A and B are shown apart, each in its own frame.
Chain A
Amino acid sequence: MTTTASRLVRAAVVAVLLLLAVPAAPASAAGTGGIEVTPVPGVVDGEQVTAFHVRLPRSGAREVDFALRNLTADPRSARLYAAEAHRTADGAFTVGAAGSSPYVVLPDEQVRLPGRALERRTFTVRGSVTGTTYAAVVLEGRKGSVVTRAATLVYLEPAPAASPSSSHRALLLGVVGVVVLGLIGLVLVLLRRRRRAEEEDLTEQARHLAGDGPVRSERD
């Protein structure tokens, strides 16, 4: 592919991605006080996403996108933080206090959104888990002595199993290549030997016809 063609392809792909990206507004989400948290992207495999499903990195940290949206025409405020979550025996979830999750890092802050505003945010995941572990991104409102919280669950999955490194992969490919070449060489040698044997037989037969001696069968 030429450089020009390559550029055209890239431009076309980027253009299509941009055109598709524009309408990707948040869809189904949950919240309280007129503000909601939506995982980004909001649709995965054709299904609306209502919770975060995150695979922890093998090392270091990973950023996870989400959107904050004010559903109302007026400015709205809420406290935003991450917390640990636990599944109870009846399948429901309990959500801990602000900053209680060791895996999800999101500054505990008061957010204020203008009417109909949409803000992109991220939280960080890190650490290692052995099975599915839960956390939550929480929006909290307080009125007097009543606290209202809306928690969007974060399903944390263990890091993917180790795969061969690129140098290991190259070595493996090299070994496979050598074996294949060796096999091809062996087949060629065998073919050449067989052809030589056939030629010798023909020479023998020609000599016999010329009266040089008896023809030896292959069985002999």
Chain B
Amino acid sequence: MTLRRRTALVALVASAACAATTAAPAMADNVPVSLTAVGGARQFDVIQTGSTSPLGTLDLGSTGSQSFRTRVRDANFETLSKSYSVTATMSNLYLRRGNGTHDVMTKVPASQVSLSKGALSADSVTADLLPKLSLNGTLPGCLTLPDAVKSTLGLSTSATSLLGLLTGITGPVLSLCNALTAAGPSGAAVSGTVDGALKQVTATVSDVTKLPNALTNGAGRSFDNADYSQDAVAAVDPAAPTAPTATGVNVMTGAAATTLPSELVASLKTALAAALPAQLVTATDTGSTTLARALDAITGTAVQTAVAALSATQQAALLNTLTPTLLDPTLATVKDITSTYYATPTLSAMRNAPVAGTYDGTLTLTFVQQ
């Protein structure tokens, strides 16, 4: 009998739970959710040295060398935790005939063409940052509040006892004073971290290794194995079918970010401190944080509830007695980055060609986003 009763009970609970799970969503209202996506992007291109024009030809001329620039442009790019790299491959250079065609059998091998380690540079870094503020202090008993706050709360500034202070006081202010008195003789201690309002700030970096995606490049080297895949003449080179994998020469690498470099942190923090409003909170939420976020730092439920019941002006007066400290920006607080990164390598070819004349080939620059 007991067993039967238990079985029946389990079945009842199970069916009730089932009914609750299935019935609840049917009763829920639809809540429209909208979001304006920023749509960050990272674009790669190759430009001429000293200008922003796209690179179309590299005339090595009589000197046998010519520099160019690779450029990676971040616009509100969010994913800093992944690396990227740019690698160059080179075809053989084939002799151009008088009629514009090429002699596939007369060539300067790619192994006699090299790419130097180019200088790296970057523009200033603009970051969308979510400031973090450490909020500390004590909300003392009503009797010891600063006079300006007392006045905003409608409390007497001349009362010398709590009883005298609260005579005739009702409503939220009375609740607040009671809650602060109940919190203890020293009042309600506040210690917490709050979010500020999203800010866009710009920082300069002295060194490309101090970028969020620290920039490095390889030592430079020759193209030992030619790339036969991107050049129409190379494609019909008898050596193409059995050619080994083309030699890739590293041009630039943006390392995956794990932390923000200290120099960048300092620069961003200075810019952030200048960008944030001086006042912690205002009645219209235009301070360095909002009333709601500052309230979250007050952990005592009774005091928090009592402060929340005050008018916005009264809340601001009370919360501004606390001390905010701007915390160091971290990778997590950087929402996106806008900047441009450059490498300026030089392509060089040995000039001891088998036959005098003009030789043409194809340089391929491949950007890889991990």
Contacts and interface: CB of A to CB of B under 8 A. Distances in A.
Contact of B45 (A32, A93, A97): A32
A136 to B, nearest CB: 7
Q: Report whether over half of chain A's contact residues are helix, strand or loop; otherwise say mixed.
A: mixed
B329 interface: no
A50 B33 contact: no
Contacts of A71: 41, 43
A122 interface: no
B34 A22 contact: yes
Contacts, number: 172
A19 B31 CA distance: 8
Interface stretch (B80-88, B131-139, B265-273): B80-88
A50 B370 contact: yes
Interface in B1-51: 19, 22-23, 25-26, 28, 30-46
B84 A30 contact: yes
Interface string B177-199: 00000000000000000000000
B343 to A, nearest CB: 13
A144 B57 contact: yes
Given A27-B78, A92-B250, A146 B362 contact: yes
A94 interface: yes
Interface stretch (A55-63, A150-158, A174-182, A194-202): A150-158
A83 to B, nearest CB: 9
Interface residues of A, number: 58
Contact of A145 (B19, B39, B57, B369): B57
A136 B45 CA distance: 18
B78 to A, nearest CB: 5
Which of B28, B45, B366 neighbours the largest number of chain A CB atoms within 10 Å of its CB?
B366
Interface of A: 1, 5-6, 8-9, 12-13, 15-16, 19-20, 22-34, 36, 47-51, 69, 71, 85-86, 88, 90-98, 100, 136, 138, 143-153
Interface of B: 19, 22-23, 25-26, 28, 30-46, 54-58, 77-79, 81-85, 87, 89, 218, 229-230, 245-246, 248, 250, 253, 360-370
